[in-house]
């Protein structure tokens, strides 16, 4: 039984690993997809985790299923579609390790997720359901996500939402933003970038944007700012936390590492997000910052996600990055 259940896309990240002798770019096949990354990171941070999603019945889908099972993630909720291919994402890295994506998904098997008795049973067994917005791009997964998130709320589960804005996957920015906004009232916890915060709220300034999300019923809003760390807003308090000064190699998966580590700590606390005292949440966020910072020192997503020992070692030995 998984304490944390993560629902969404599971795909292949093709990450640059150099060039051939005549200058052609080489890519490595890496398992990825934000919800899958969150599940693996939560597991490595100390809680049981499961995944709810769909991949193709192809060589990539087999590889992804084997990867999650090998990591120890519960895969009763992972199915393979014989008619639709596993989604692929090619990652381009800048000189500073930031990434851009090109997706091959028209549609991908991940968008074929349906809401049935098995899916609801898995939600019954978990304490926290994590989800994103990318399955809202097509049916039947759009309706499945809406139904399953609503079901989780009705059963008193903690819900955690990462909008994960990916413009190439939406017909238009207007549709994408509208769909992302539709899930905000269903979230207890949200992790957003400053860009996503602006898109979702149309407010100027981080504090005003966070207040708009809190007014929709969100208990904890975390705004990630890359090397500048993060800002956290609740109904009763707010704070900022610097991240750690690690040697950045590839930021792919770092935000998911942060979120998975944070959610693991919240699950371990046994508390609802709105019940967390400021000092307690500050410690959880510091742990999450360390996780994301360690993840960025390696290439790929799932292969780079650190365990609790590596995260704690970072907190003890690596200085904070102050910009």
Which DSSP helix (H) or strand (E) runs through 263? helix 254-269
Residue 275 predicted with pLDDT over 80:
yes
Tell me what pLDDT residue 16 has.
82
Residue 291: partners with Cβ closer than 8 Å, 6 or more residues away: 41, 45, 257, 258, 260, 261, 305, 306, 311
pLDDT-based confidence at residue 190 (cuts at 50, 70, 90): very high
pLDDT-based confidence at residue 96 (cuts at 50, 70, 90): low
Residue 92 predicted with pLDDT over 80:
no
Orientation angle between helical segments 194-201 and 206-215, nearest 10 degrees: 60
Tell me what pLDDT residue 251 has.
85
**For the sheet containing 11-19, what is the strand order?**
25-32, 11-19, 88-93, 99-104
Residue 97 predicted with pLDDT over 60:
no
Residue 95 predicted with pLDDT over 70:
no
Angle at 16 between CA 61 and CA 257, to 5 degrees: 65
Convert the pLDDT of each residue in 151-183 to its tens digit.
999 999 999 999 999 998 999 999 999 999 999
Mean pLDDT, rounded, of the chain: 95
C-beta atoms surrounding 151 within 10 Å: 16
Q: What is the mean pLDDT of residues 309-319?
A: 98
pLDDT-based confidence at residue 220 (cuts at 50, 70, 90): very high
Tell me what pLDDT residue 55 has.
98
Tell me what pLDDT residue 99 has.
63
How many angstroms separate the CA atoms of 113 and 80, rounded? 10
Convert the pLDDT of each residue in 25-51 to its tens digit.
899 898 989 999 999 999 999 999 999
Strands 230-234 and 128-132: unpaired
- For CA atoms 154, 77, 309, 305, the dihedral sign is negative
Domains of the chain in sequence order: 4-18+26-317 (3.40.1190.20)
Q: Which of 15-19, 37-41, 290-294 has the lowest average pLDDT?
A: 15-19
Residue 8 predicted with pLDDT over 80:
yes
């Amino acid at each position: 039984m998984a304490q944390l259940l993560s629902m969404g896309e599971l795909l292949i990240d093709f990450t640059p690993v150099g060039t051939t002798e005549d200058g052609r770019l080489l890519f490595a096949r890496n398992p990825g997809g934000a919800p899958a990354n969150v599940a693996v990171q939560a597991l490595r941070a100390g809680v049981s985790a499961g995944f709810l999603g769909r991949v193709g019945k192809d060589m990539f889908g087999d590889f992804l299923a084997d990867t999650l099972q090998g990591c120890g993630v519960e895969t009763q909720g992972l199915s393979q579609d014989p008619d639709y291919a596993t989604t692929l994402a090619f990652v381009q890295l800048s000189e500073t390790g930031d990434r851009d994506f090109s997706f091959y998904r028209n549609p991908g098997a991940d968008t074929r997720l349906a809401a049935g008795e098995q899916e609801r049973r898995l939600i019954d067994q978990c304490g926290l359901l994590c989800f994103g917005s990318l399955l809202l791009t097509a049916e039947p997964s759009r309706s499945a996500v809406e139904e399953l998130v609503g079901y989780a709320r009705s059963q008193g589960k903690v819900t955690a939402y990462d909008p994960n804005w990916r413009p190439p996957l939406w017909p238009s920015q207007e549709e994408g933003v509208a769909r992302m906004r539709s899930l905000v009232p269903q979230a207890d916890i949200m992790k957003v970038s400053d860009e996503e915060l602006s898109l979702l709220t149309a407010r100027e300034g981080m504090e005003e944007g966070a207040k708009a999300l809190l007014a929709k019923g969100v208990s904890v809003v975390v705004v990630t700012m890359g090397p500048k760390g993060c800002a956290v807003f609740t109904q009763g308090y707010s704070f900022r936390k610097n991240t750690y000064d690690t040697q950045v190699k590839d930021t792919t998966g770092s935000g998911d590492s942060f979120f998975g580590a944070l959610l693991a700590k919240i699950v371990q606390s046994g508390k609802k997000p709105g019940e967390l005292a400021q000092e307690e949440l500050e410690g959880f966020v510091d742990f999450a910052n360390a996780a994301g910072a360690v993840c960025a020192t390696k290439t790929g997503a799932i292969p780079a996600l650190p365990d609790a020992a590596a995260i704690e070692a970072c907190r003890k030995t690596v200085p904070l990055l102050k910009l």
